[in-house]
Every structure is written in C-alpha cells, then in structure tokens.
Amino acid sequence: MPTTVQTFAEAKGKKRPLTMLTCYDYSTAKLMNDAGIDSILVGDSLGNTILGYPNTLPVTMEDMIHHCKAVTRGAPDLLVVCDMPFLSYETSVYDAVTNAGRLIKEGGADAVKLEGGRAVAEQIRAIVAAGIPVQAHIGLTPQSIHALGGFKVQGKNLDAALDLIADAKAVQAAGAFSVVIECVPAPLAKAITDLLDIPTIGIGAGPDCDGQILVYQDMLGMYTDFVPKFVRPFAHIGEAMTRAFQDYARAVRDRSFPNASEQFDMDQALVDQALA
C-alpha cells in the first residue's frame, strides 16, 4: 500500500516505528521501494554525499529538483519528501510557497521539509495552506551550521531544551505533518515525542521517536568523510565497492575481462573480407 501523510499520522504513538532513509537517485530508490522502507527523504545532504561540498549550504533548488525527479521515478509507492535548500524559504513566505511548489510540480515530491522552529512557523503555515504537506526539522539543523558553531548535540541545557520544546510545539501548531529531530539527547526527544500529536522522526535522537531516518551512504558504510556517533553501518558497501573496483582493474589489466561469454562474436572470414 502506498505511503501517505495518513500513514504517518496513523503511526503516531504506535509500537511499529516509521522507517525513512535519504535517497538521491533512481536505482537506489527502487531498492528502497522494494525493501519496504516507509518513506524517502531527498535530503540536501546530497550536497555532502553526492556533490562533495563540505556542507549543505551551496545546494540549489535545481540540484534538489534534479535528484527528486530521479527518486520519484524509482519509488512510486513511497511518500517522497524533498528538502528545501538553504535560503529557498527563510527569505519570505512568498519564496517559501513558490519554492515548495516547484519541488512538488517539477520535482514530483509528495511533501517538503524545511529546517527551523518558531522562526519558520509562518512559512510552514503558508505552504500547508497551499496544500503541500510539510515535515519540519529541529535540533541540529545543518543549514545553520555557522550559527550553531559546528555539528553538536542540541538542547542539552535547560534554556536550550525549553527552546527546542517551543520549536516543536510551534511547527505542530503551524500544521507540519511530522518533525525530524536531529542530534538531541534521547530523554528530551522522548519527552517531545510524548508531548506532540504529530510523529517525530529521529536521527541521533534515541529509540523513542515515532520513526528513524539515516543518510543512506552512512548506514551502508560508504561515506567516510565524517561518521557521526549515531550512525550504525548496516553494511560495508564502501569496502565492497573498493574491492570490486580493484578486481575490475586487475581483470582488465591481465585481459581476463572480458571473456568469451562477455563479448560478441563474428565470422573471421567476414573480418578478413572487410580488410581485403
């Protein structure tokens, strides 16, 4: 059965958590679709994992649309959420609705995600009013990396915890269908999950959120520039790829690749005739 925002609403407070992964391309989306993952995020983490930038700040609307189109073609059954890139929504409510609309109309996304709490509540309200489901994202918000002063756990002292709770309530009141909570102590993420009526999706936020999300290159063990403490490598695909690349190079160099069954044959007499 296809995943929708109703699937998310129904998962709230249930024993069975929602499963989300990031994805940026067609063939990986197909594998996730077939594996029964509940929902995909076309994350602006593609700035790091696909484009090789040091952070997500340079990512453009065109980058997001380009990858979102590929993912939606591969995962027709899944709710595809597309990240709004840095400065595509902070500038004004008008920009927020216009750019959210482009991710739906041009990218084929089912919903959008944006970072921030009270500061972007107006934008969330307007996008939702336009008929576009919004997933919020609070805690560690990588687009604010310079303001946060680095990648660190959020909400650790009383003031920060109160701020985070206020942000969580604000995005829910603004109409978000769900909220990602990133890099927040597990007990605080649990408290926010209990407090809210919308499902929380955790990343580095403990086991009590209504769902989990990871960057797929992280959980496959194929992105090693920076591996956060909360990542579990469910496979070692990076090592498997390196081994395959080495095996290929060896086979080409010793001419064992391609072999007889990996080529197209032709009558030698015909070749000779062509040369005559």
Q: Is 83 annotated as a binding residue?
A: yes
Neighbours of 224 (CB within 10 A): 11
Q: Is 159 annotated as a binding residue?
A: no
> Does the footprint of ligand KIV cover residue 29 (CB under 6 A)?
no
Report if residue 43 touches ligand KIV, rule: CB under 6 A: yes
Does 115 appear as a known binding residue?
yes
CB atoms within 10 A of CB 244: 10
Distance CA 165, CA 161 (A): 6
Rule CB under 6 A: which of 217-276 touch ligand KIV? none
Partner in contact with 110, chosen from Na ion, ligand KIV, none, beta carbon below 5 to 8 Å by kind: none
Question: What minimum distance in Å lies between the beta carbon of 132 and Na ion?
Answer: 17
**Rounded to the nearest whole angstrom, what is the least distance from the CB of residue 259 to ligand KIV in the complex?**
41
Q: Angle 185-190-196 (CA atoms, 0-180°, nearest 5)? A: 125
Is 180 near ligand KIV (CB under 6 A)? Answer: yes
Nearest to ligand KIV of 26, 151 (CB atom): 151
Tokens 């594998």 locate to 31
Residue 126 has φ and ψ, to the nearest 5°, of -70, -40
Total residues belonging to the chain: 276
Name the residues that contact Na ion, by CB under 5 A: 43-44, 83
Residue reference for tokens 């959420």: 81
Residue 38 touches ligand KIV, criterion: CB under 6 A: no
Q: Tell me if 3 contacts ligand KIV by CB under 6 A.
A: no
Q: Is the peptide bond before 58 cis (omega within 30 degrees of 0)?
A: no
Count CB-CB contacts under 10 A for residue 171. 27
- The verdict on 22 binding ligand KIV (CB under 6 A) reads yes
User: Is residue 261 marked as binding?
Assistant: no
Residues 93-132 that bind ligand KIV (CB under 6 A): none
d(CA 85, CA 53): 14
The answer to whether 181 contacts ligand KIV (rule: CB under 6 A) is: no
C-beta of residue 12 within 8 angstroms of C-beta of residue 198 = yes
Task: Report the C-alpha gap between 60 and 77 in whole angstroms.
Answer: 26
- 125 makes contact, choosing from ligand KIV, Na ion, none, with CB < 5 to 8 Å by partner type, with none
Q: Which residue is nearest to ligand KIV (CB)?
A: 43
According to CB under 6 A, which one of 38, 44, 110, 210 is a site residue for ligand KIV?
Answer: 44
Alpha-carbon distances, residue 268 vs 56, 110, 161, 264, 275 (angstroms): 56, 57, 77, 12, 11
Kindly write out the interface string for residues 188-217 of this chain, putting x where it contacts ligand KIV by CB under 6 A and - elsewhere: ---------------x---------x-x--
DSSP 262: G
Residue 27 marked as a ligand binder: no
- The closest of 111, 130, 86 to 177, measured between CA atoms, is 111
Residue number, 5 or 41, with CB nearest to ligand KIV:
41
- Which residues contact ligand KIV by CB under 6 A? 22, 41, 43-45, 83, 137, 180, 182, 203, 213, 215
Please list the active-site residues.
182
User: Residues at the annotated binding site for 3-methyl-2-oxobutanoate?
Assistant: 44-45, 83, 113
